[in-house]
Chain A
Amino acid sequence: MDLSLSTRTEGDRTVVTVGGEIDVYTAPKLREQLIDLVSSGNYDLVVDMENVDFLDSTGLGVLVGGLKRVRAHEGSLRLVCTQERILKIFRITGLTKVFPIHASVDEALSATD
């Protein structure tokens, strides 16, 4: 399974729907997508990972890079994830303290904290 990416605008936020495997091979595509969004002025991102089947530390690095880029514009990067196997790597690495993680896209879209 390769990586699938799609984006849509919801109010003032942009939802990036990611599916498949985010690893050392596919992570550069996600990085490009996040860079494109930020350079075209989208600073409030919601990354929906509900269809992500696999995520490794390369993928985490890309998400951290995305977070740093939106923060440079006072933006936000929120994750949507309820899958235990994906949440586990965020917990092991302590990145649950870095990313707001939501249970649904709706919740991420209405979050303001």
Chain B
Amino acid sequence: MATVEVSFTALPAHVRTARLVALAVARRAGVDDDLLDEVRLAVGEACSRAVGIHQSKAPEDPVVMRLIDEQDQFTVEVVDIGPLEASVSPGDLDLDADALAAPAPRDAGSDPLPELLPPGFGLAVISGLVEQMGVTSEVDGTHVRMTWPSHDVMAPTAD
């Protein structure tokens, strides 16, 4: 059973809340301080991706984030209802710098430019960031799991 489970409406505004909760539980679980920025970014990427998928496919369904504190590791699992998109394979983030820096048409105006970063970019960022991560397609949707080492934290003692 997850130590903490958060389910939230698929809105961008709630991604920050999810990051903050994950960060608080990670700290409590004994994840090293110098890994916390990584936790925050990876959880943000996973939740942003899930929110995007839900908004286009099932805006009514909540995104689920499970935080699991085990003996010597801390795992975050983000579940969305969508199928797994073709993801950029880990370590294959060699974006075409020239294409990215190419000028937009002058008449682009305020229209959103076509998708600038490839689909699967968020997942690729996670895989570049987190040593232990996995993505699986299951009956209830896609699960993104990220695990960090942790150490037992002694209960705070009263001074």
Contact = CB atoms under 8 A, between A and B. Distances in A.
Interface of A: 21, 23-25, 31-32, 35, 39, 54, 56-58, 60-61, 64-65, 67-69, 71-73, 85, 88-89, 92-95, 97-98
B40 interface: yes
A98 B100 contact: yes
Per DSSP, chain B at the interface is helix
Given A39-B109, A88-B37, A89-B125, 19 more contacts: A21-B16, A23-B15, A23-B19, A23-B44, A39-B110, A54-B40, A56-B41, A57-B121, A61-B116, A65-B104, A68-B101, A68-B104, A68-B116, A69-B113, A93-B128, A94-B94, A94-B97, A95-B95, A97-B97
Contacts of A64: 100, 116-117
Nearest to B51: A24
Nearest to A83: B37
Nearest to B125: A57
Name the interface size band of chain B: 35 or more
9 closest cross-chain pairs (CB), A and B? A71-B103, A68-B104, A25-B12, A92-B128, A72-B103, A24-B48, A97-B97, A24-B12, A85-B37
Contacts of B103: 68, 71-72
Contact of A56 (B48, B105, B128): B48
B34 to A, nearest CB: 10
B93 interface: yes
A32 B102 CA distance: 20
Interface string B92-132: 01110100111111101110110011000110110011000
B104 A57 contact: no
B44 A56 contact: yes
Contact of A68 (B15, B102, B128): B102
A73 B103 CA distance: 8
Contacts of B102: 68, 71
5 contacts: A23-B19, A56-B45, A57-B121, A61-B117, A89-B125
B106 A72 contact: yes
Given A23-B48, A24-B12, A54-B41, A65 B113 contact: yes
B13 interface: yes
A3 to B, nearest CB: 11
Contacts of B52: 24
A53 to B, nearest CB: 10
A66 B131 CA distance: 31
Nearest to A96: B97
A95 to B, nearest CB: 7
